[in-house]
């Protein structure tokens, strides 16, 4: 596949990694104060591990928060894995901000992105990391980049106008210079939190000189291509890469046209790095999502991830192997009912490593390429990123009681070794609530899992108010992870017990379980939530069922609105963050239409009954419980009018209610001080309605 493209264009043993939870007292008063939202937003965050070619060093990104300035900064840290007891060190070249650190092919240089020169460009430093040198001077921000395996070239992504490949804004006629209107003739008009500006993320190649700096002009690789690589809004360098010899580039992209908002048909394209040929579609036969191509060390096989159902963003990602000589394909581990998230080859090419959700955990797995045998390499916890070296695996993992740390795991097997101890000072003296996973028979008698988290000040024999958290997606999971928006410990630290149910529709329990929610938003998951709540009350005597509130965001916010009219009996109060209020209007106002259309069985005009079947707006007459509504102005996934509609309904009915509105936030709440305000408002609402009589 890749090789023939080049020929046409170029000259002739199971190891379980269990992360120990933070210290807590299971049968007596916990030691230390409770975890707070201010603690959470000020934690340093480890991500993006990158191992040097020889396996000796690992780079990682460390995000720190300047709370007073209400923003975060990124820096590059390095650890010498060969030195016993070596401590991570911050590269001085990070001054001015640095992210996306990547090794040169020979391991002697480190490239990264920084805005220190006024725009996001690629910079270069050496292993000492004392000084930085600007490697690119391009007319637009570099959104992502990749270095070729042969060290001769660099590919960057920039937002440009596809007709001209120019970053410059289109010129206006003199009589329109003060006009503010923007004329659109197709969707997306807006996406996630930004209005369309006519640009596309396109890839460009640059030759590197003997010092590893960019030479000459950037060569467009996607000239005239109506699509984005990487994808908007959050695609990255995992969506493009080089062939092993550095002469070809692949990328995953969706042709836009007029169908982009209701299409999930991403294909993998190949193009010569010199730009001499237009991109060629390598996966045209699959009308669903293809992405994440990785070439085996010997160059004979490529692996990529592929969905099978067009229009369904939560379909299972299958692993496809393609023989480079014959183009013959086969599915690897076809019977493994998990969705692959990220692929990397082992150094010997005999295995593929993959991350996947698995019964409330997110594990790292090894898959034998010949037999398809799947072996879990990590146990409890949430693996968020990993890299492979000749000596072993390096991965980032967190869990319900601990933020992310860096770990190593030998290829030959053995126990993981923790490399970092980030936030040890910030969490000293902080008590975490103890989590426990449970299961029960849910909808259709099928096993459903959930978690309970004890309050940080837990004392045996005492009853505690409950925060009943409902996850979004809906194809998601409130599993064993340290969440930075819905963190169970912020409630446990405030004296609440937490209950979370991974209802039908959740990921990590098999594709049929995930599929069960589509066109069933209001019945099957509601039954799971009802049965899970009853089970938790019967099993855990510290839960005070008379002082409980239900909270959720996105789909969880929809479910809160649905509960308000269909199951409000158990709750003293409700919290709806960015939730769907009028499902039919959602079908006409959201941007990624494929989502609403799949989940409701078609377009809103083609299947109106599908949108009305579980429409919260139709049950407002039964709303009686106090509700806090939260919404962001820049949320284009579930537009702000949905939150305003819910608040208007509550106010008009005389139901106690408040609206927390963020003019500067999207579907999430990202600014540190806004996050603290969010938590203060939510906990204030819970405290108001769950207080003991006379307290």
- Band (pLDDT 50/70/90 cuts) for residue 164 is confident
One domain, residues 122 and 264: yes
| Domain-terminating residue out of 220, 252, 282 | 282
Residue 323: C-alpha distances to residues 2, 184, 380 (Å): 10, 44, 35
Q: Is pLDDT of 1 > 90?
A: no
For range 622-637, the mean pLDDT? 98
Give pLDDT tens digits for 521-578: 999 999 999 999 999 999 999 999 999 999 999 999 999 999 999 999 999 999 999 9
DSSP H/E element including 574: strand 573-577
Q: Is pLDDT of 6 > 60?
A: no
Q: Give the count of alpha carbons within 13 A of 21, CB side only.
A: 20
Rounded-to-integer distance, Cα 334 and Cα 513, Å: 17
One domain, residues 469 and 501: yes
Q: Is residue 37 in some structural domain? A: no
For range 39-59, the mean pLDDT? 97
Name the pTM for this structure: 0.94
Q: Which residues contact 499 (CB under 8 A, 6 or more apart)?
A: 450, 451, 452, 466, 467, 468, 469, 532, 533, 536, 543
One domain, residues 237 and 94: yes
One domain, residues 654 and 601: yes
One domain, residues 652 and 585: yes
Pick from 152, 96, 91: nearest CA to 121: 96
Q: Give the range of the structural domain holding residue 590, as residue numbers without chain letter.
A: 438-689
Q: Is residue 570 in some structural domain? A: yes
Q: Is residue 32 in some structural domain? A: no
One domain, residues 341 and 487: no
The CATH number given to whatever domain includes residue 592 is: 3.40.50.1820
Rounded-to-integer distance, Cα 459 and Cα 581, Å: 39
Name residue 61's beta-bridge partners: 47, 76
Q: Is residue 260 in some structural domain? A: yes
Q: Is pLDDT of 29 > 80?
A: no
Q: Is pLDDT of 459 > 70?
A: yes
Q: How many residues does the chain have?
A: 695
One domain, residues 336 and 374: yes
Q: Is pLDDT of 468 > 50?
A: yes
One domain, residues 278 and 292: no
One domain, residues 486 and 557: yes
Q: Is residue 234 in some structural domain? A: yes
The CATH number given to whatever domain includes residue 318 is: 2.120.10.30
Q: Is residue 5 in some structural domain? A: yes
One domain, residues 572 and 625: yes
Q: Is residue 24 in some structural domain? A: no
The residue behind tokens 């005999």 is 350
- Band (pLDDT 50/70/90 cuts) for residue 22 is very low
Q: Is residue 345 in some structural domain? A: yes
The tally of domains found in the chain comes to 3
């Amino acid at each position: 596949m890749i090789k023939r493209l080049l020929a046409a264009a170029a000259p002739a043993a199971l190891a379980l990694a269990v992360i120990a939870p933070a210290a807590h007292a299971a049968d007596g008063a916990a030691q230390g104060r409770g975890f707070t939202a201010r603690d959470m937003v000020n934690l340093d965050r480890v991500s993006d591990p990158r191992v040097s070619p020889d396996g000796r060093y690992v780079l990682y990104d460390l995000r720190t928060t300047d709370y007073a300035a209400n923003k975060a900064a990124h820096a590059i840290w390095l650890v010498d894995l060969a030195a016993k007891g070596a401590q991570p060190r911050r590269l001085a070249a990070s001054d001015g901000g640095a992210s996306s650190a990547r090794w040169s092919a020979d391991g002697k240089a480190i490239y990264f992105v920084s805005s220190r020169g006024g725009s996001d460009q690629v910079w270069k430093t050496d292993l000492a990391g004392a000084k930085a040198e600007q490697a690119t001077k391009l007319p637009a921000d570099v959104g992502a980049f990749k270095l070729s395996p042969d060290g001769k070239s660099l590919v960057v992504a920039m937002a440009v106008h596809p007709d001209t490949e120019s970053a410059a804004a289109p010129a206006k006629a003199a009589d329109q210079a003060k006009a503010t209107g923007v004329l659109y003739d197709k969707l997306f008009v807006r996406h996630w939190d930004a209005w369309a500006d006519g640009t596309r993320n396109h890839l460009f190649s640059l030759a590197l000189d003997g010092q590893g700096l960019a030479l000459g002009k950037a060569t467009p690789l996607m000239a005239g291509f109506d699509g984005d690589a990487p994808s908007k809004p959050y695609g990255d360098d995992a969506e493009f890469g080089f062939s092993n010899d550095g002469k070809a580039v692949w990328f995953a992209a969706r042709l836009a046209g007029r169908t982009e908002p209701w299409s999930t048909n991403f294909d993998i394209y190949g193009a010569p790095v010199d730009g001499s040929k237009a991109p060629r579609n390598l996966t045209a036969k699959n009308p669903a999502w293809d992405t994440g191509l990785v070439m085996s060390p010997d160059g004979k096989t490529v692996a990529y991830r592929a969905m099978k159902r067009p229009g369904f963003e939560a379909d299972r990602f299958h692993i496809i192997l393609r023989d480079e000589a014959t183009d013959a394909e086969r599915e690897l581990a076809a019977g493994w009912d998990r969705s692959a998230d990220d692929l990397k080859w082992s150094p010997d090419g005999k295995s593929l490593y993959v991350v996947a959700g698995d019964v409330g955990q997110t594990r790292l797995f090894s898959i034998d390429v010949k037999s398809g045998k799947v072996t879990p390499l990590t146990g409890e916890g949430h693996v968020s990123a990993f890299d492979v070296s000749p000596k072993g695996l390096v991965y980032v993992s967190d869990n319900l009681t601990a933020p992310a740390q860096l770990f190593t795991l030998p290829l030959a097997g053995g126990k993981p070794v923790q490399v970092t101890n980030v936030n040890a000072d910030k969490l000293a003296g902080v008590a975490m609530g103890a989590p426990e996973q449970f299961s029960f028979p849910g909808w259709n008698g099928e096993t459903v899992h959930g978690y309970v988290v004890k309050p940080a000040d837990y004392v045996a024999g005492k009853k505690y108010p409950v925060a009943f958290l409902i996850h979004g997606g809906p194809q998601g999971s409130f599993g064993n992870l340290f969440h930075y928006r819905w963190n169970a410990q912020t409630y446990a630290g405030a004296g609440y017990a937490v209950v979370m149910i991974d209802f039908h529709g959740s990921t990590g329990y098999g594709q049929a379980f995930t599929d069960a929610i589509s066109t069933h938003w209001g019945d099957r998951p509601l039954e799971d939530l009802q049965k899970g709540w009853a089970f938790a009350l019967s099993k855990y005597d510290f839960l005070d069922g008379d002082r409980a509130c239900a909270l959720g965001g996105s789909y969880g916010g929809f479910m809160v609105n649905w509960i308000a009219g269909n199951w409000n009996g158990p709750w003293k109060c409700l919290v709806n963050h960015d939730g769907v209020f009028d499902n039919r209007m959602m079908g006409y106002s959201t941007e990624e239409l494929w989502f609403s259309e799949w989940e409701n069985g078609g377009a809103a005009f083609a299947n109106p009954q599908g949108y009305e079947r579980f429409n919260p707006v139709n049950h407002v007459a039964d709303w009686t419980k106090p509700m806090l509504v939260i919404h962001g102005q820049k949320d284009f996934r579930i537009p702000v009018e949905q939150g305003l509609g819910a608040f208007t309904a509550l106010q008009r009915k005389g139901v106690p209610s408040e609206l927390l509105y963020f003019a500067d936030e999207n579907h999430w709440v990202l600014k540190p001080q806004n996050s603290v305000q969010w938590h203060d408002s939510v906990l204030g609402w819970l405290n108001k309605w769950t207080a003991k009589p006379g307290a």
